[in-house]
């Protein structure tokens, strides 16, 4: 492959061109490029940061965010076995779930899709997650962050219950809590003593990146 | 002025005697609260081995699906009348069939006619809630198979829609104005049975397939709409959540390219029958306001404050090119707000949007924690402060 593969990889991802991205990734794996798999993965992650900024600035939309995440995921899956440094899950673990009584998973899944591509290991507890399951998962996985999603106003109190349970179980100091979803606001996050409120997947991932540094 | 004239005057951007009100009553908890009914814990009965079989039989009985739904809907309209609303949305949602699903805690889910899975939960009082949880047609092949296998059921549902709306107008139209809600709309019927991540992938990777899905659902939706309009419903509410908390789900130009023609056809079909169209979309819709006007919509509903939508800002942007409906908060105000807070919010909404007509006071949405007493306070505040000419 000729030229600057790192730049080409970024360009193809930002052009939302799955096919070209995968061709370039395969070329890296086969040793036909001037960069190695870890450097290629780093290029993909950098491109995703540009995606995130574009989304936050309102230049890109949910569909582009989701599809670029899919391209990055496919590329990183191919690169992973050939990488010398484990960038794919190098940033740490996030435990994520939608609170009890709430079955909505779109926002949660978009967050998972994006944060996974950004290098986090994700433990997805699914929807309608009871408080006890959040607590057990935090104890078991010792994540950088616990993310709770909530679309319904009626289930918003569940967020506070989980945070209270973390305190009761002496786990509040070992994990940071981030919340998001249509029913939640910054004010609500303060009320229930969450560490952060994320209005979207990119902001949420950025906040957790800072926590993981 | 009576309720119907009040609503239609506002829809024409003229000032009626007072600002009209529209109810978004739908949830059983609201109906129970207004009509003093006891909660029927259907989810609890489905979980209980002693009652499960009877409930499953009742919920699976195809012959009573329409009648049972209509009976529940009568409570919805009665509640809206009792609360003093001028209009209330009227939605036929019995397009689902009970299906065994061992993966879920209850063991049963609903599959709707279009290819979605709906799971049960209950609110804290025990009323059943239904949530769309996942798609049934993640691939092109699954979608084709679904559409073919369900065509008879879809036809049946479309027939029922007409009967339903006729009956609602006949039974309640002398006491309230039913707004014929044709939902879900084209966008949601296209992506939800496929799932958002898959749908997005297919937009980029199989655009011809997606165009076929959109054409199919646009044609189907127009048939659905014809049925709604064959009743004496005068205002049709079409429903699609095109936006989420921070903005449109797809780039506005992509929405135009994929769905613009569909929405134009929908608006034209409604206007051809001399009816008015209100479009329901949750989320932050600022970037779509010009499109709504361009597509020919008469009004828009939810104007969701939790997605950052400011009623005054919307009015400033659209002028009197769109009737605005909604905007009163259902995350706090109509759940736990004080009477004074509700009065203040009503006054602000009237100030922001009601001058010259073209505003219908309403909550931004419904859900089971919305308190009926607070809805009543909202309606009463509109009677107190919403008389034209508006004072402040």
Domains of chain B: 3-39+63-95+137-385 (3.20.20.210)
For residue B331, give how far its alpha carbon lies from the nearest alpha carbon of chain A (Å). Answer: 6
All residues at 6 or more sequence positions from A174 whose CB lies less than 8 Å from its CB, including other chains: A138, A142
| Residue among B249, B282, B306 minimizing CB distance to A185 | B306
| B221, B266 Cβ separation under 8 angstroms | yes
Whether A132 and A203 share a structural domain: yes
The whole-angstrom separation of Cα A44 and Cα A17 is 13
For residue A51, give how far its alpha carbon lies from the nearest alpha carbon of chain B (Å). Answer: 14
Q: What is the mean pLDDT of residues A155-166?
A: 93
pLDDT of residue B248: 95
| B281, B288 Cβ separation under 8 angstroms | yes
**A82: confidence class by pLDDT, cuts 50, 70, 90:** confident
Distance of CA B207 to the CA centre of its chain: 29
| Residue among A61, A105, A199 minimizing CB distance to B133 | A105
With a CB-CB cutoff of 8 Å, which residues 31-60 of chain A face chain B?
58, 60
Contact check, Cβ <8 Å, A154/B245: no
Question: Kind of pairing, strands B116-122 and B108-112?
Answer: antiparallel
Residues of A in contact with B201 (CB under 8 A): 67, 70
The whole-angstrom separation of Cα B101 and Cα B109 is 6
The CATH number linked to A115 is 3.40.50.280
All residues at 6 or more sequence positions from B68 whose CB lies less than 8 Å from its CB, including other chains: B58, B94
pLDDT digits over A38-71, tens only? 899 889 988 988 998 898 899 999 899 989 989 9
Whether A82 and A94 share a structural domain: no
Q: What's the whole-number average pLDDT of chain B?
A: 96
Whether A97 and A80 share a structural domain: no
Q: Is the dihedral of CA B335, B339, B340, B342 positive or negative?
A: positive
Please report, for chain A, how many H helices and E strands are present, in that order: 9, 5
Residues of B in contact with A103 (CB under 8 A): 119, 121, 131-133
| A52, A204 Cβ separation under 8 angstroms | no
- pLDDT above 70 (res A116): yes
Whether A112 and A75 share a structural domain: no
In a 10 Å sphere around its CB, with 0-12 CB exposed, 13-18 middle and 19+ buried, how is residue B348 labelled? middle
The residue out of A87, A110, A129 marking a domain boundary is A87
Start-to-end C-alpha separation, chain A = 34
The whole-angstrom separation of Cα A41 and Cα A10 is 10
Residue B390: which of B363, B362, B358 has the closest Cα?
B358
With a CB-CB cutoff of 8 Å, which residues 82-111 of chain B face chain A?
105
Q: Where are the beta strands (DSSP E) in A54-127?
A: 93-98, 121-124
Whether A60 and A98 share a structural domain: no
pLDDT of residue B154: 95
What pairs with residue B181 in β-bridges?
A: B91, B237
**A89: confidence class by pLDDT, cuts 50, 70, 90:** low
pLDDT of residue B300: 98
Start-to-end C-alpha separation, chain B = 22
CA geometry: angle at B132 spanning A114 and B197, to 5°?
A: 30
| Residue among A62, A104, A154 minimizing CB distance to B368 | A154
Which long-range CB contacts under 8 A does B68-73 form with residues at least 24 apart? B68/B94, B69/B93, B69/B94, B69/B164, B70/B164, B70/B167, B72/B28, B72/B31, B73/B164, B73/B168
What pairs with residue B280 in β-bridges?
A: B239, B301
For residue A113, give how far its alpha carbon lies from the nearest alpha carbon of chain B (Å). Answer: 9
Contact check, Cβ <8 Å, B249/A63: yes
pLDDT digits over A172-190, tens only? 999 999 999 877 888 999 9
DSSP string covering B22-82: EE----HHHHHHHHTPPP--HHHHHHSHHHHHHHHHHHH-GGGHHHHHHHHHHHHHHHHHH
**A102: confidence class by pLDDT, cuts 50, 70, 90:** confident
Question: For chain A, what is the domain count?
Answer: 2
With a CB-CB cutoff of 8 Å, which residues 111-170 of chain B face chain A?
119, 121, 123-124, 131-134
pLDDT of residue B261: 98
The residue out of A70, A87, A104 marking a domain boundary is A87
The whole-angstrom separation of Cα B182 and Cα B224 is 7
The whole-angstrom separation of Cα B282 and Cα B326 is 11
Whether A35 and A50 share a structural domain: yes
Whether A75 and A116 share a structural domain: no
Residue ranges of chain B with per-residue pLDDT less than 50: none
**A1: confidence class by pLDDT, cuts 50, 70, 90:** very low
Contact check, Cβ <8 Å, A63/B250: yes
pLDDT of residue A88: 47
Contact check, Cβ <8 Å, B131/A103: yes
How is residue B137 written in tokens?
């047609």
Q: Is B246 on the interface with A (CB under 8 A)?
A: yes
CA geometry: angle at B322 spanning B316 and B326, to 5°?
A: 85
- pLDDT above 80 (res A84): no
In a 10 Å sphere around its CB, with 0-12 CB exposed, 13-18 middle and 19+ buried, how is residue B326 labelled? buried
Cis ω for the linkage preceding B389 (within 30 of 0): yes
Whether A201 and A116 share a structural domain: yes
- Does residue B236 sit in helix, strand or coil? strand
Q: At what angle do helices A201-212 and A106-117 cross, to 10 degrees?
A: 50
pLDDT of residue A103: 75
Query: How many CB atoms are closer than 10 A to CB B365?
Result: 22
pLDDT of residue B339: 98
Contact check, Cβ <8 Å, A66/B197: yes
Whether A113 and A127 share a structural domain: yes
The residue out of A87, A108, A133 marking a domain boundary is A87
Residue A81 exposure: Cα atoms within 13 Å on the Cβ side: 5
Whether A76 and A123 share a structural domain: no
Whether A156 and A193 share a structural domain: yes
pLDDT of residue A2: 47
The whole-angstrom separation of Cα B188 and Cα B190 is 5
Whether A116 and A72 share a structural domain: no
> Could you report the predicted ipTM of this complex, rounded to two decimals?
0.89
Residue B72 exposure: Cα atoms within 13 Å on the Cβ side: 19
Contact check, Cβ <8 Å, B201/A70: yes
Category of A198 on φ-ψ map: left (φ > 0), alpha (ψ -120 to 50) or beta: beta
Cis ω for the linkage preceding B184 (within 30 of 0): yes
- pLDDT above 80 (res A85): no
Residues of A in contact with B245 (CB under 8 A): 182, 199-200
Domain limits for position A106:
90-212
Residues of A in contact with B282 (CB under 8 A): 182
pLDDT of residue B227: 95
The CATH number linked to A18 is 1.10.1240.10
The whole-angstrom separation of Cα B62 and Cα B54 is 14
């Amino acid at each position: 492959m000729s030229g600057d593969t790192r730049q080409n990889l970024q360009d193809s991802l930002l052009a939302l061109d799955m096919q070209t991205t995968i061709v370039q990734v395969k070329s890296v794996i086969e040793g036909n490029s001037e960069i190695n798999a870890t450097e290629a993965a780093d290029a993909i992650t950098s491109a995703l940061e540009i995606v995130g900024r574009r989304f936050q600035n309102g230049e890109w939309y949910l569909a582009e965010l989701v599809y670029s995440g899919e391209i990055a995921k496919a590329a990183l899956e191919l690169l992973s076995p050939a990488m010398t440094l484990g960038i794919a899950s190098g940033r740490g673990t996030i435990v994520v779930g939608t609170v009890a009584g709430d079955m909505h998973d779109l926002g949660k899944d978009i967050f998972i899709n994006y944060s996974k591509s950004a290098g986090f290991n994700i433990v997805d507890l699914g929807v309608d997650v009871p408080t006890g399951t959040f607590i057990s998962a935090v104890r078991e996985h010792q994540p950088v962050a616990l993310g709770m999603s909530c679309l319904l106003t009626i289930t918003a109190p569940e967020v506070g219950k989980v945070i209270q349970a973390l305190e009761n179980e002496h786990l509040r100091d070992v994990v940071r809590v981030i919340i998001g979803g249509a029913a939640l606001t910054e004010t609500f996050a303060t009320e229930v003593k969450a560490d952060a409120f994320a209005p979207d997947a990119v902001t949420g991932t950025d906040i957790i990146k800072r926590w993981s540094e | 002025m009576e309720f119907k004239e009040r609503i239609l005057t506002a829809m024409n951007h003229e000032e009626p005697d007072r600002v009209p009100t529209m109810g978004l009553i739908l949830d059983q908890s609201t109906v129970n609260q207004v009509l003093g009914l006891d909660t029927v814990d259907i989810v609890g009965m489905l979980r209980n081995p002693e009652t499960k079989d009877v409930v499953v039989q009742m919920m699976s009985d195809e012959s009573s699906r329409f009648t049972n739904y209509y009976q529940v809907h009568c409570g919805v309209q009665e509640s809206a009348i009792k609360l003093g609303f001028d209009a209330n949305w009227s939605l036929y949602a019995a397009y689902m069939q009970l299906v065994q699903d061992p993966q879920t805690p209850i063991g049963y889910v609903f599959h709707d006619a279009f290819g979605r899975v709906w799971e049960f939960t209950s609110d804290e009082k025990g009323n059943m809630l239904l949530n769309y949880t996942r798609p049934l047609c993640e691939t092109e092949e699954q979608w084709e198979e679904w559409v073919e296998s369900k065509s008879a059921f879809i036809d049946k549902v479309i027939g029922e829609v007409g009967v339903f709306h006729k009956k609602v107008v006949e039974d309640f139209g002398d006491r309230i104005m039913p707004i014929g809600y044709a939902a879900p709309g084209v966008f949601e019927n296209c992506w939800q049975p496929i799932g958002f991540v898959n749908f997005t992938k297919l937009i980029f990777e199989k655009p011809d397939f997606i165009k076929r899905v959109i054409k199919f659902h646009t044609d189907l939706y127009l048939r659905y709409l014809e049925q709604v309009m064959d009743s004496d419903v005068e205002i049709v509410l079409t429903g699609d959540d095109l936006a989420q908390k921070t903005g449109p789900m797809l780039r506005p130009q992509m929405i135009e390219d994929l769905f613009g023609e569909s929405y134009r056809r929908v608006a034209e079909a409604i206007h051809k029958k001399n009816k008015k169209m209100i479009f329901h979309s949750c989320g932050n819709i600022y970037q779509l306001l010009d499109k709504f006007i361009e597509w020919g919509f008469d009004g828009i509903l939810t104007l969701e404050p939790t997605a950052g939508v400011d009623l005054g800002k919307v009015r400033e942007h659209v002028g009197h090119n769109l009737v605005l409906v909604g905007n009163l908060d259902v995350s706090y105000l109509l759940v736990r707000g004080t009477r004074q807070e509700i009065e203040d919010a009503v006054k602000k909404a009237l100030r922001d949007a009601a001058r010259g007509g073209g505003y219908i006071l309403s909550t931004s949405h419904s859900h089971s924690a919305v308190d009926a007493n607070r809805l009543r306070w909202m309606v009463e505040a509109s009677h107190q402060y919403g008389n034209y000419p508006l004072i402040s």
